Structure 1
Amino acid sequence: MKTYVQKSLALITLVSLASCGDFDSFKKHEEEPLSTVDWSHKEVNLKSIDSLIYGKSYLSVYSQVYSYTEHTSLDLTATVSIRNTNSDAKSYLIRADYYDTHGKKLHSYVDAPIAVDELETLEIVIAEFDQKGGTGANFIFEWAVEPSTSKPIFEAIMISTYGQQGLSFISHGHQIE
């Protein structure tokens, strides 16, 4: 019996120490800035491309969701996908702006128009520890496509795990112009 108790205590100690290490590495990321991407190698001059169709899309992204009451929230990691569904034409991303719950712009991810290659997916990751967006964060995307091609798709998957409990869901972008 004594050996069983000793082994159990040793296992509990190891698990506790391991989880403390993970927590410390998680905490060090709290001071990091918003997710950044470098798409400068994909920049294009849209003035040289004739007859593009322009549009604007809205995407809800949740940095947090409420749990139990409006006073308790869970933090989420969000992966935002920008998808070109055309197999024979590029799409163009002109703007990708991230806003918080109150409509304040937090970050612009596109400095100049960029090409999204055929069937390519670009991603923006909003880290779980980044709570700036809040429960009502969103993106506004401006884009362009050639006539007779598909419009880009904007999606987000939000995920979080706490212990053995997991939470995940998706949101789909909506064209607003």
Structure 2
Amino acid sequence: MNKILQLILLATLCFSCIDEQAISSISPVNWEKRKAREIILDSLEHGMTYLSVYSQIYSQTEHTTHSLTATVSMRNTSLKDTVYLSQAAYYDTHGTFLRSYFDETIFIAPMETVEIVIDEIDKDGGTGANFIFDWHIRHKAHEPVFEAVMISTSGQQGLSFSTQGKRVE
């Protein structure tokens, strides 16, 4: 019995020494590969989409929160046209800018989906986090679709829900 307790204690110590992961599982290298080269954005239609994202939700009372993992999907619904994103700006509950996921315009190929994953350990956004996406498309092309799926599991219970973006400009 004593050896079992020692093994449990040793395992706990080993796992507690592991460094926390990055707050997003999308590597900056992936954005580098997506840079749009030599595109003239002035010749394209511009739009802006708002997307609500929940890093946390209230549980039981307003003083208790439950952390969530969020998958933000940026989807090109066109069979032939490319979508260009010039911004994916992430804001917290209070409207404070937290970060932008890329610094230069990127592309999403026809029928492609690009994702941003906000890890469960990232609580910066809070209960009312949101994104603003600036995008550009060829005139009369399909507008991009922005969605978020939030999920959390604990033991045998799971929680999940989704949100959809709304064009604001």
Amino acid at match of 2:39: L
The 5 Å alignment of 1:1-177 reads: 24=16, 28-29=19-20, 32-35=21-24, 36-38=26-28, 39-44=31-36, 45-47=38-40, 51-177=43-169
Q: CA deviation at 1:144?
A: 0.4
Residues 47-77 of structure 1: CA distance to partner in whole angstroms, max 9, x if unpaired? 2x67311000000000000011101110000
| C-alpha contact 1:37 1:124 (8 A) present in aligned 2 | no
Quote the Cα distance in structure 1 between the aligned partners of 2:144 and 2:13: 41
What is the count of residue pairs matched by the alignment? 160
Q: TM-score with structure 2 length normalisation?
A: 0.85
| RMSD of Structure 2 on Structure 1 (CA) | 2.4
Show structure 1 runs of 4+ deviating over 6 A.
none
Q: TM-score with structure 1 length normalisation?
A: 0.81
Structure 1 gap ranges (5+): 1-5
Quote the Cα distance in structure 1 between the aligned partners of 2:164 and 2:123: 21
Q: CA deviation at 1:42?
A: 1.7
Cα 1:21–1:164 shift into 2, 3 Å: farther
Quote the Cα distance in structure 1 between the aligned partners of 2:67 and 2:14: 16
Quote the Cα distance in structure 1 between the aligned partners of 2:80 and 2:14: 45
Cα 1:140–1:22 shift into 2, 3 Å: farther
Q: CA deviation at 1:174?
A: 0.3
Q: Write 1 or 2 for the structure with the bigger share of helix.
A: 1
Amino acid at match of 1:111: D
Cα 1:57–1:122 shift into 2, 3 Å: same
Q: CA deviation at 1:46?
A: 2.7
Identity %: 49
Cα 1:42–1:103 shift into 2, 3 Å: same
Structure 2 gap ranges (5+): none
Quote the Cα distance in structure 2 between the aligned partners of 1:85 and 1:134: 30
Higher-Rg member (1/2) = 1
